[in-house]
Chain A
Amino acid sequence: MTGSTRTEDWKAEWQPVIDAVGRDFSSGQTVFGADPVERGAIRRYLEPLEFDCALHTDPEAARAAGFDDVTMPYTGVLTWTIPPMWRPGEVLFDSDERDAQPVRTPINNQDMPLGPKTTGFFGTDIDIDFVRPVVAGERIGRRGNRLLSCVPKETSVGRGAFLKWESDVVTENGEVVARIRIGTYAYVPKNETEASDD
């Protein structure tokens, strides 16, 4: 098999995904974050950033600014919409291999029903429109998961595709608090593609 043929083969595997551009991959239901926004989790979010703003730490200051409680940092729309890693009754870890991965995780490309199986995954770009701040006590989730684009590309880390997704961030009442367009790169790492080419 020639190199160019192999190139066509791996790109062709992404065609079903390219054909699905425009499709909403959500089940039609809002996927909510594991927990409501709460003061302790906000405080922990601020720590590695050394992020000092009274709106996020001081309920009195937040109330003086017109909010019912401290507010979530705007960029928390990513964190507070992540579903739980584990639910009662589930097995999360089934291996003592040093770098074993959890049985399932909401942070990867596992739920993608189309295209090649990928093991590498990272975010590439984000655009967000914020409608209003989210306040402690509220719970937020992602509504919709529309695929906007799919561009297969080989990069320095492997072969895969750049995918762009769009969703609304909503409260439990369905109020839109933000709109997100997020790009990801799902790929097969180079060491794995080299092994499969041999």
Chain B
Amino acid sequence: MTDTAARQRYFEDVAVGEELPSVAYPLNVYRLVMAAGSNRDFNSIHHNTEYARRTGAKEMYANTSFLLSTWERCVRDWIGPAGTIRSIRGFRMRSFNYVGDTLRVHASVADARVEDGAGVVEIAIRGENSSGVSVGPGTVEVTLPRRGEEQE
């Protein structure tokens, strides 16, 4: 069995209520600067404390693309490479995710169903920082391969 196959999750293995491994993202200046450079959101509120404070924030804070992709990584880590992502809903930034804090993404299986032959899983997901839920809660709808498909 290849490493990729070993990491693959199948629809039949999923249980509603199952928790996905949480992912922690310490938010330091270095990471926020790397995020801005790589996802092209150069708004100064995300990498310049003085500027961010003049816009009413307490500090520089993580940008939208970065936060959105923290959800994708949490989900992808769990669904494996053969899973697909159909939608992201309820991604709402409730409070700023400031530098100097840690964002933790938590997720669990909210629903699992077969739809037109596809294994569809709804994942409830949220980001939390030291002040509570800061992103979401929302849902990510994914598909997972079904074991029978291997022999087809």
Interface residues in chain A, defined as those with a beta carbon under 8 Å from any beta carbon in chain B: 34, 41, 44-45, 47-55, 61, 64-65, 73-76, 78-79, 82, 85, 98-99, 101-102, 105, 107-108, 119-130, 133, 156-158, 183, 187, 189-191
Q: Which of B39, B51, B56, B73 contacts A190 (CB 8 A)?
A: B56
Q: Contacts A45-B38, A45-B39, A191-B54 given: A75-B68 contact, CB under 8 Å? A: yes
Known: A51-B73, A78-B41, A79-B65. 5 other contacts (CB 8 A): A49-B69, A79-B40, A157-B55, A189-B55, A191-B54
- Whole-angstrom CA separation of A52 from B21 in the bound complex: 14
Are B91 and A53 closer than 8 Å at their CB atoms?
no
Are B87 and A130 closer than 8 Å at their CB atoms?
yes
User: Which size bracket describes the interface of B in this complex?
Assistant: 35 or more
Interface centre among B4, B32, B90 (most CB of A within 10 A): B4
Are B93 and A124 closer than 8 Å at their CB atoms?
yes
B5: min CB distance to chain A, Å: 10
Interface residues in chain B, defined as those with a beta carbon under 8 Å from any beta carbon in chain A: 4, 25, 31-32, 34-35, 37-45, 48, 50-51, 54-57, 63-66, 68-73, 76-77, 81-82, 84-93
In the complex, the number of residue pairs spanning A and B with C-beta atoms less than 8 Å apart equals: 132
Are A75 and B69 closer than 8 Å at their CB atoms?
yes
Task: Name the A residues within 8 Å of B90 (CB-CB).
Answer: 125, 127
Task: Name the B residues within 8 Å of A121 (CB-CB).
Answer: 43
Are A129 and B76 closer than 8 Å at their CB atoms?
no
Task: Name the A residues within 8 Å of B38 (CB-CB).
Answer: 41, 44-45, 47-48, 79
What are 21 A-to-B residue pairs whose CB atoms are below 8 Å?
A: A45-B38, A45-B69, A47-B34, A49-B35, A53-B81, A73-B76, A74-B85, A75-B65, A76-B69, A79-B65, A82-B40, A82-B41, A99-B50, A101-B44, A105-B43, A108-B43, A126-B91, A129-B87, A130-B87, A157-B56, A157-B57
